[in-house]
Amino acid sequence: MGDVKELTIHNAEILNGVKMIKGPALRSLDISFSGLKNIEFLDCPALETLILEGNKKMNKPDFSSLKGLKKLNLAKTTIQEMDFSVFPHLE
């Protein structure tokens, strides 16, 4: 991912699984309404905003590595429960 700070993918409807690897500068990720089922994060320490709205077949992801997350949008997903204690900076 290199120096990418913001990434937006809307209405892709072709995504099944996404691995975000080595995004040291990535601050904002919006993958809305894209048919996403799984997402994984490896080395994305700067991520503050994560929007996964409208991914209706989404499995519960592991967000434990996203310690700096401030904004999280899971509206209209199938995720029923979330442990928000892993996000000390969530607004």
Angle subtended at Cα 46 by Cα 87 and Cα 60, rounded to the nearest 5 degrees: 45
pTM given for the model = 0.90
pLDDT digits (tens, 9 = 90+) for 34-62: 989 999 999 999 999 999 999 998 888 88
What's the whole-number average pLDDT of the chain?
A: 90
Angle subtended at Cα 57 by Cα 51 and Cα 58, rounded to the nearest 5 degrees: 45
In this predicted structure, what is the pLDDT of residue 75? 94
In this predicted structure, what is the pLDDT of residue 82? 83
